[in-house]
Structure 1
Amino acid sequence: MTVPTLENNRVKLSLLDLSNYKHLQRIAPQKDLIYYSPSDISTSEKLKDYVQLAVDGYYHKTIIPFIVFDKLHKAYAGSTRFGLINWKNKLLHIGWTWIGHEFQGTGLNANMKFLMLQYAFETLEFEKVEFRIDERNNKSRRAVEKLGAQLEGILRKDVLMKDGFRRSTCCYGILKEEWPEIKLKLINVIG
């Protein structure tokens, strides 16, 4: 599986692996960066384990992990990925996204998601993209709703968190036939 570099004038998404993840060591330990995730990236070793799981998924063709480079600030900003890739049914998830606090609210995330959605629908020709978000994570829920994703349902208490809490997960989706309208809207947002 060949992974492209997804890039526009604002952001560059390239394959995240064990050769480049160290660029994220400064960002990963930021307080509450992935509070709503069952993952742990708070130390260099835990970040390496997190990346190793993504790399393993890449070799099994179920994950495409990206390292995020913010071209405006000329700095590595975080990570995102395609996950739970179902090649037969032409469905994948976009998620596992975290960017440093200094990059949040700057338009970086909208640019990332635009490139990822464009690749999923126009290059891979997938039928659907899903997002799974902790029900309590209102900031991320608003962000995917702004993209045009529709809430399809809530999986009740389906994920065990690091602290033992059982979260409920909101399932959002975008269908291939919805992409042209969403694309036009996003182009206006990202400029």
Structure 2
Amino acid sequence: MNIPTLENNRVKLTLLDLSNYKNLESIAKEEDLIFYSPSDISTPEKLRDYVQAAVDGYYHKTTIPFIIYDKEKETYAGSTRFGLMNRKNKLLHIGWTWVGHDFQGTGLNSNIKFLMLKYVFETLEFEKIEFRIDERNNKSRRAVEKLGATLEGILRKDTLMNDDFRRSTCCYGILKEEWPNIKATVFKAF
């Protein structure tokens, strides 16, 4: 599988693996960083397990995990990934995204999503991207809505969280034919 490096003047996304994940240990400890995720990255061991699962998915061709490097701040900022890749149906999910609190609200995430969307629609030529978000996570829901994603439905109580809460998951999507307009409007500055 070709390992893409996605990069612009603000951010660089490279393959996240067991050789570089330790650059994220201090960020992973931040409180409430992935509160709405069923994952746990709160200790170095749990972060390593999280990365190992992502690497396993990469070798099974179902994920491409990225480590995020903020070029403006000249430091690592977090992680994101393409997941649940379905090459036959040309569909994948963008998610598992977390960036440290110091990077939130700085425009970093818009740059990340632009690079990822552009790669999926223009290089891979996939037909659809999905985002799955905890119904309670209004901040992330607003962020994907600002990207032009459409709420397609809510899966009721479909995911068991670490605290035994059963979350409902909002399913958002962007279609390939919607990308040119989104690129020209939402991402016109890029």
Using structure 1 for the length normalisation, give the TM-score.
0.98
- Which residue matches 2:170? 170
Cα distance, 1:144 vs structure 2: 0.1
Q: Which amino acid aligns with 1:28?
A: A
Instruction: Determine if contact 1:33/1:98 at 8 Å carries over to the other structure.
Output: yes
Cα distance, 1:141 vs structure 2: 0.1
- Which residue matches 2:79? 79
Cα distance, 1:187 vs structure 2: 2.6
Q: Deviations over 1:21-52 (max 9, x none)?
A: 00000100100000000000000000000000
1:141 lines up with 2:144 in the alignment? no
> 3-state SS of the aligned residue for 1:178?
helix
Q: Deviations over 1:80-104 (max 9, x none)?
A: 0000000000000000000000000
- Which residue matches 1:15? 15
Cα distance, 1:2 vs structure 2: 1.2
- Which residue matches 1:105? 105
- Distance of 2:21 and 2:186 partners within structure 1: 29
- Which residue matches 2:65? 65
- Which residue matches 2:91? 91
CA RMSD of aligned residues (A): 0.7
> 3-state SS of the aligned residue for 1:187?
coil
Instruction: Determine if contact 2:91/2:128 at 8 Å carries over to the other structure.
Output: yes
Cα distance, 1:186 vs structure 2: 3.1
Instruction: Determine if contact 2:36/2:134 at 8 Å carries over to the other structure.
Output: yes
- Which residue matches 2:31? 31
Instruction: Determine if contact 2:40/2:46 at 8 Å carries over to the other structure.
Output: yes
Q: Which amino acid aligns with 1:29?
A: K
- Distance of 2:99 and 2:75 partners within structure 1: 11
Using structure 2 for the length normalisation, give the TM-score.
0.99
> 3-state SS of the aligned residue for 1:36?
coil
Listed as ranges, the gaps of 5+ residues in structure 2 are: none
Listed as ranges, the gaps of 5+ residues in structure 1 are: none
Instruction: Determine if contact 2:120/2:126 at 8 Å carries over to the other structure.
Output: yes
> 3-state SS of the aligned residue for 2:27?
coil
Cα distance, 1:3 vs structure 2: 1.2
Q: Which amino acid aligns with 2:127?
A: E
Instruction: Determine if contact 2:64/2:81 at 8 Å carries over to the other structure.
Output: yes
**Percent identity (aligned):** 78
- Distance of 2:102 and 2:3 partners within structure 1: 28
Instruction: Determine if contact 1:149/1:172 at 8 Å carries over to the other structure.
Output: yes
> 3-state SS of the aligned residue for 1:49?
helix
Aligned residues: 190
> 3-state SS of the aligned residue for 2:186?
helix
